[in-house]
Amino acid sequence: MKIVFLGTPDFAVPSLNALITAGYEVVAVVTQPDRPVGRKAVLTPSPVKVAALSHGVKVLQFEKISRDGVEELKKLNADIMVTCAFGQILSKEVIDVAPKGIINVHGSLLPKYRGASPVQYAVINGDKIAGVTIMQTDTGIDTGDILAVEKTDVGEKETAGELFERLSKLGAELLLKTLKKIEDGSVVPVKQDEKNATYVKMIKKEDAKIDFSRPAAVVFNLVRGMHPWPIAFTYLRGKLLKIFSCEISHEEYDGAFGEVVRADMKNGIVVKCGVGAIIINELLLEGGSKQNQREFLAGRKIFEGDILG
């Protein structure tokens, strides 16, 4: 079966590698154009482009695939196309290019978390179970028929980055199983239940700002969900303070939300929340470097009574 693979970030690389390792004929990979990265704006290829070139697979890049790529895709004569975190909305003309259409590897248990950031929101919302869905792509946003689902427990302290990595591998395995069923005709499409559909937006830096008026569990989940990007943040005496990891305190404290109620080597850095408190484990103050709480306290950068926010 001849396949065109469409994907862009790290999440899509295991699926591409799995297809090639399994012996499928990947006639081309379509990915987003190279983008400037970092302070020096160095033009950088996507992880999927790097992986494709390492396998010697042809790479196509379109600023808008539905506008610029239809004719090029038709020339490839693929039997099916596979998308995984490609990052562009596909028109019906693109979807209809291959006889078997397009199937998509999506990092959530559809119809929950349609949209751009399903893995992060599973962690931010404190979900105990996450997973991947293989769906038949249609013109809606993650609205197509479900072809296969695989669930997994979310670790109590698991970050979005850690879950992201696990789901990317889980998705690759499920993709191969689903393709076999498509080939032998045993796949059974299931309509999504629109009553249970939810949509999530693309994560932006401002979404990572901590609101200490919320319960400690909510703050804890936000910190996990914003790791490794963009990293949850607050302010300490007007300076940006990034919080990489924390835990929920089992002790009860009095104080205003956002108040540093403990700042010593024995108790650590404890911050009062709307309900309960968190203990900060790793942090970075603007102008400094990432430190654990003991290193931070040794530098006497924070005191009891300081207000974060």
Residue 220 has pLDDT above 90, yes or no: yes
Judged against a pLDDT cut of 90, whether residue 98 lies above it is answered with: yes
Say whether both 71 and 155 belong to one domain: yes
Q: pLDDT digits over 245-282, tens only?
A: 999 999 999 999 999 999 999 999 999 999 999 999 99
**Structure token digits, residue 235:** 């302010």
- Residue 307 lies inside a defined structural domain of this protein: no
Tell me the average pLDDT across 125-153: 97
Give the list of residues 6+ apart from residue 89 with CB closer than 8 angstroms, or none: 66, 141
The residue among 221, 223, 198, 195 whose CA lies nearest residue 209 is: 223
CA distance 49 to 54: 9
Residues 183 and 217 in one domain: no
Q: Are strands 25-31 and 80-84 parallel, antiparallel or unpaired?
A: unpaired
pLDDT average, residue stretch 117-144: 97
CA distance 29 to 300: 52
> What CATH code is carried by the domain that includes residue 281?
3.10.25.10
Q: What average pLDDT does this structure show over 41-45?
A: 93
Q: Is residue 192 part of a domain?
A: yes
Q: Is residue 251 part of a domain?
A: yes
Domain presence at residue 303: no
Segment 155-204, tens digit of pLDDT = 999 999 999 999 999 999 999 999 999 999 999 999 999 999 999 999 99
Residue 51 lies in a domain: yes
Q: Which residue is listed with tokens 């010593």?
A: 264
Q: What is the pLDDT of residue 300?
A: 86
Domain span at 30: 2-200
Question: Phi and psi of 66, rounded to 5°?
Answer: -70, -20
Indicate whether 266 belongs to any domain.
yes
Q: What is the pLDDT of residue 192?
A: 98
Where among 178, 200, 222 does a domain terminate? 200
Confidence at 215, pLDDT banded by 50, 70, 90: very high
Q: Which residue has the tokens 């108790």?
A: 267
Q: What is the mean pLDDT of residues 138-157?
A: 97
> Residue 93 is part of a domain; what is its CATH number?
3.40.50.170
- pLDDT value of residue 38: 85
Please tell me whether residues 133 and 219 are part of one structural domain.
no
Same domain? 118 vs 41:
yes
Q: How far is CA 40 from the centre of its chain?
A: 25
Phi/psi at 152 (nearest 5 deg)?
-155, 145
Top pLDDT among 232 and 39 is at: 232
Structural domain contains residue 308: no
Task: Tell me the average pLDDT across 89-97.
Answer: 96
Contacts of 190 (CB under 8 A, 6+ apart): 145, 146, 147
Confidence (pLDDT) at 129: 98
Residue 304 lies in a domain: no
Cβ-based neighbour number of residue 279 at 10 Å: 20
As for how many domains the chain has, the answer is 2
How much is the average pLDDT of 23-37? 96
Q: Which helix (H) or strand (E) holds 92?
A: helix 92-95
Per-residue pLDDT, 101? 97
| Alpha carbons 63 and 254: distance in angstroms, whole number | 54
